Chains A and B, each alone.
Chain A
Amino acid sequence: MSDAVQTATSALRRSFHYRDLEAAGARFQPVADAAVAWVYGDDAGNEQTRARTLGIADLSPLPRTGFKGRDIGPWLAKQSVTVGEASNRAYPCGKGSLAAKLAPTEVLLLGALDGSDPLPGALNDAWTDDAGLCFPVPRRDASFWFTITGKMASSMFAKICGVDLREKSFDNHAIAQTSVARSNTIIIRDDLGAVPAFHMLGDSASAGYMWMCLNDAMDEFDGGPVGLEAILALRK
Chain B
Amino acid sequence: MSGGANRLPERAGEWVDRARSVSFTFDGKSCQGLEGDTIASALAANDRWILSRSFKYRRPRGILTMAGQDANTLVQLPDEPNVLADTRAISDGLVVEGQNFDGSLENDRGAYMGLFSKFLPVGFYYKTFFRPRGAWKFWEPIVRARAGLGKINEKAHHGYYDKAYGWYDVAVIGGGPAGMAAAASAAKAGAEVLLVEENPHLGGSLAYARFDADGMESSKQLEALKADLGGVEIMTGAICNGWFEDNWLPVIKGNRLYKIRAKHVVLATGSIEQPMVFHNNDLPGIMQASAAQRLIRQYGVRPGKRAVVATANADGYAAALDLRQAGCEVAAILDLRAEPTNGAIVNAVRDHGIPVHAGSTAYEAVAAKGNRHITAVTSAKITGRGECGSGRDRFDCDLLCMATGYTPTHHLLSHAGGEVGYDGASEMFCVRSVPDGITVAGSLNGSYDLGATIAEGHYAGWSAAKAIGLKAGRQPRVPNDRGSLNRSHPWPIFPHPKGKDFIDYDEDLQVRDIQNAIREGYEHIELVKRYSTVGMGPSQGRHSALTSVRLTADETGQDIEVVGRTTSRPPFTAETFGVLAGRAFEPVRHTAMHHRHLELGAQMMPAGLWLRPAYYGTQDQKTACVEAEALNVRNNVGLIDVSTLGGLEVRGPDAAEFLNRMYTFAYLKQPVGRSRYLLLTDETGVIADDGVACRFGKNHFYVTATTGGVDNVYRSMLWRNAQWRLDVDVTNVTAAYAGVNIAGPKSRDVLAKLCTDVDLSPEAFPYMEIRTGTVAGIPARLMRVGFVGELGYEIHIPSGQGEALWDALMDAGRDDAIRPFGVEAQRMLRLEKGHIIISQDTDGLTIPHEADMAWAIGRKKPYFVGGRSIDIQVARGIERKLVGFEIADPAVPVPEECHLTVRGEEIVGRVTSAVRSPSLGKTVGLAYVAPDQSEPGTEFDIKIDGGRIIKGQVVKLPFFDADNARQEL
Q: In the bound complex, do residue B727 and residue A141 qualify as a contact, i.e. CB atoms below 8 Å apart? A: no
Q: In the bound complex, do residue B587 and residue A183 qualify as a contact, i.e. CB atoms below 8 Å apart? A: yes
Q: In the bound complex, do residue B589 and residue A169 qualify as a contact, i.e. CB atoms below 8 Å apart? A: no
CA distance A9 to B777 in the complex (A): 15
Name the residue among A68, A141, A164, A182 with the largest chain B CB count within 10 angstroms: A141
CA distance A204 to B118 in the complex (A): 70
Partner among B589, B649, B700, B803 whose Cβ is within 8 Å of the Cβ of A205: B589
Closest B residue to A216 by beta carbon equals B583
CB neighbors of B among A67-94 (8 A): 68-70
Across the interface, which residues of B come within 8 angstroms of A19, CB to CB? Answer: 595
Partner among B165, B653, B699 whose Cβ is within 8 Å of the Cβ of A158: B165
Interface membership of B556, Cβ < 8 A: no
Across the interface, which residues of A come within 8 angstroms of B166, CB to CB? Answer: 158
Q: In the bound complex, do residue A137 and residue B731 qualify as a contact, i.e. CB atoms below 8 Å apart? A: yes
Interface membership of A14, Cβ < 8 A: yes
Name the residue among B167, B587, B803 with the largest chain A CB count within 10 angstroms: B587
Across the interface, which residues of B come within 8 angstroms of A205, CB to CB? Answer: 589-591, 610, 643, 734-735, 799
Q: Do A129 and B736 form a contact, CB below 8 Å, given A12-B801, A205-B610, A205-B799? A: no
Q: In the bound complex, do residue B649 and residue A135 qualify as a contact, i.e. CB atoms below 8 Å apart? A: yes
CB neighbors of A among B801-819 (8 A): 801, 803-804
Closest A residue to B778 by beta carbon equals A12
CA distance A12 to B778 in the complex (A): 8
Across the interface, which residues of A come within 8 angstroms of B801, CB to CB? Answer: 12-13, 141
Across the interface, which residues of A come within 8 angstroms of B116, CB to CB? Answer: none
Bitwise interface map of B from 248 to 289 toward A, beta carbon under 8 Å scored 1, else 0: 000000000001000000000000000000000000000000
CA distance A29 to B162 in the complex (A): 36
Q: In the bound complex, do residue A135 and residue B651 qualify as a contact, i.e. CB atoms below 8 Å apart? A: yes
Partner among B163, B651, B803 whose Cβ is within 8 Å of the Cβ of A133: B651
CA distance A133 to B726 in the complex (A): 12
CA distance A169 to B591 in the complex (A): 36
Interface membership of A117, Cβ < 8 A: no
CA distance A129 to B586 in the complex (A): 40
Across the interface, which residues of A come within 8 angstroms of B609, CB to CB? Answer: 206
Interface membership of B562, Cβ < 8 A: no
Across the interface, which residues of A come within 8 angstroms of B583, CB to CB? Answer: 216
Interface membership of B798, Cβ < 8 A: yes
Q: In the bound complex, do residue B588 and residue A140 qualify as a contact, i.e. CB atoms below 8 Å apart? A: no
Closest A residue to B802 by beta carbon equals A141
Q: How far is the CB of B717 from chain A (nearest CB, A)?
A: 14
Q: How far is the CB of A199 from chain B (nearest CB, A)?
A: 17
Interface of B is mostly: mixed
Q: In the bound complex, do residue A69 and residue B729 qualify as a contact, i.e. CB atoms below 8 Å apart? A: yes
Interface membership of B764, Cβ < 8 A: no
CB neighbors of B among A154-177 (8 A): 158-162, 164, 166, 169
Bitwise interface map of B from 789 to 805 toward A, beta carbon under 8 Å scored 1, else 0: 00000000011110110
Partner among A70, A105, A129, A204 whose Cβ is within 8 Å of the Cβ of B799: A204
Across the interface, which residues of B come within 8 angstroms of A69, CB to CB? Answer: 651-652, 729
Interface membership of B142, Cβ < 8 A: no
Q: Do A14 and B736 form a contact, CB below 8 Å, given A158-B166, A213-B585? A: no
Interface membership of A142, Cβ < 8 A: yes
Interface membership of B605, Cβ < 8 A: no
Closest B residue to A162 by beta carbon equals B165
Q: Do A133 and B736 form a contact, CB below 8 Å, given A166-B167, A204-B800? A: no
Bitwise interface map of B from 575 to 596 toward A, beta carbon under 8 Å scored 1, else 0: 0000000010111111110010
Q: How far is the CB of A65 from chain B (nearest CB, A)?
A: 11
CA distance A68 to B733 in the complex (A): 12
A-B contact count (CB 8 A): 117
CA distance A169 to B586 in the complex (A): 29
Name the residue among B609, B735, B777, B799 with the largest chain A CB count within 10 angstroms: B735
Bitwise interface map of A from 204 to 221 toward B, beta carbon under 8 Å scored 1, else 0: 111111000100110000
Q: In the bound complex, do residue B735 and residue A140 qualify as a contact, i.e. CB atoms below 8 Å apart? A: no
Across the interface, which residues of A come within 8 angstroms of B804, CB to CB? Answer: 9, 12, 14
Q: In the bound complex, do residue A142 and residue B733 qualify as a contact, i.e. CB atoms below 8 Å apart? A: yes
Q: Do A16 and B731 form a contact, CB below 8 Å, given A162-B165, A182-B587? A: no
Name the residue among B588, B653, B697 with the largest chain A CB count within 10 angstroms: B588
Across the interface, which residues of B come within 8 angstroms of A164, CB to CB? Answer: 165, 167
Q: In the bound complex, do residue B589 and residue A206 qualify as a contact, i.e. CB atoms below 8 Å apart? A: yes
Q: Do A12 and B777 form a contact, CB below 8 Å, given A70-B729, A140-B798, A166-B167? A: yes
Across the interface, which residues of B come within 8 angstroms of A70, CB to CB? Answer: 727, 729
Across the interface, which residues of B come within 8 angstroms of A9, CB to CB? Answer: 803-804
Across the interface, which residues of A come within 8 angstroms of B259, CB to CB? Answer: 162
Q: How far is the CB of B590 from chain A (nearest CB, A)?
A: 6
Across the interface, which residues of B come within 8 angstroms of A192, CB to CB? Answer: none
Q: In the bound complex, do residue B735 and residue A204 qualify as a contact, i.e. CB atoms below 8 Å apart? A: yes
Q: How far is the CB of A144 from chain B (nearest CB, A)?
A: 9
Q: In the bound complex, do residue B737 and residue A141 qualify as a contact, i.e. CB atoms below 8 Å apart? A: yes
CA distance A137 to B590 in the complex (A): 21
CB neighbors of B among A126-146 (8 A): 129, 133, 135, 137-143
Interface membership of A203, Cβ < 8 A: yes
Across the interface, which residues of A come within 8 angstroms of B700, CB to CB? Answer: 129, 135
CB neighbors of B among A1-39 (8 A): 9, 12-14, 16-17, 19, 34
CA distance A157 to B586 in the complex (A): 17
Q: How far is the CB of A196 from chain B (nearest CB, A)?
A: 16
Partner among B592, B729, B733 whose Cβ is within 8 Å of the Cβ of A105: B729
Q: In the bound complex, do residue B587 and residue A142 qualify as a contact, i.e. CB atoms below 8 Å apart? A: no
Q: In the bound complex, do residue B587 and residue A159 qualify as a contact, i.e. CB atoms below 8 Å apart? A: no
Interface membership of A195, Cβ < 8 A: no
Across the interface, which residues of A come within 8 angstroms of B589, CB to CB? Answer: 203, 205-206, 209
CA distance A12 to B610 in the complex (A): 23
Interface membership of A111, Cβ < 8 A: no
Across the interface, which residues of B come within 8 angstroms of A133, CB to CB? Answer: 651-653, 727, 729
Q: How far is the CB of A105 from chain B (nearest CB, A)?
A: 7
Across the interface, which residues of B come within 8 angstroms of A169, CB to CB? Answer: 167
CB neighbors of A among B297-350 (8 A): none
Across the interface, which residues of A come within 8 angstroms of B698, CB to CB? Answer: 129
Across the interface, which residues of A come within 8 angstroms of B799, CB to CB? Answer: 16, 141-142, 204-205
Interface membership of B164, Cβ < 8 A: yes
Closest A residue to B805 by beta carbon equals A12
Q: Do A14 and B735 form a contact, CB below 8 Å, given A162-B165, A205-B589, A205-B591? A: no
CA distance A162 to B259 in the complex (A): 9
CA distance A92 to B583 in the complex (A): 37
Across the interface, which residues of A come within 8 angstroms of B587, CB to CB? Answer: 181-183, 206, 209
Q: In the bound complex, do residue A14 and residue B803 qualify as a contact, i.e. CB atoms below 8 Å apart? A: yes
Partner among B162, B588, B652, B777 whose Cβ is within 8 Å of the Cβ of A206: B588
Closest B residue to A61 by beta carbon equals B800
Across the interface, which residues of B come within 8 angstroms of A16, CB to CB? Answer: 590, 592, 799-800
Bitwise interface map of B from 459 to 484 toward A, beta carbon under 8 Å scored 1, else 0: 00000000000000000000000000
Across the interface, which residues of B come within 8 angstroms of A208, CB to CB? Answer: 588, 590
Q: How far is the CB of B587 from chain A (nearest CB, A)?
A: 5
Q: Do A141 and B699 form a contact, CB below 8 Å, given A69-B729, A166-B167? A: no
Across the interface, which residues of B come within 8 angstroms of A209, CB to CB? Answer: 587-589
CB neighbors of A among B718-738 (8 A): 727, 729, 731, 733-737
CA distance A9 to B804 in the complex (A): 8
CA distance A61 to B163 in the complex (A): 32
CA distance A68 to B591 in the complex (A): 25
Task: List 28 interface pairs A-B (beta carbons < 8 Å), by A numbering.
Answer: A9-B804, A13-B800, A16-B590, A16-B799, A68-B729, A68-B731, A129-B698, A129-B699, A133-B652, A133-B729, A135-B700, A138-B733, A138-B737, A141-B735, A141-B799, A142-B736, A159-B164, A159-B165, A161-B165, A162-B259, A164-B167, A181-B587, A203-B735, A204-B735, A205-B589, A206-B609, A208-B588, A209-B587
Q: Beyond A13-B801, A142-B735, list 8 extra A-B contacts (CB 8 Å).
A: A12-B777, A133-B651, A137-B733, A141-B798, A159-B164, A203-B735, A206-B587, A206-B589
* Interfacial residues, chain B to chain A (CB-CB below 8 A): 162-167, 259, 583, 585-592, 595, 609-610, 643, 649, 651-653, 697-700, 727, 729, 731, 733-737, 777-778, 798-801, 803-804
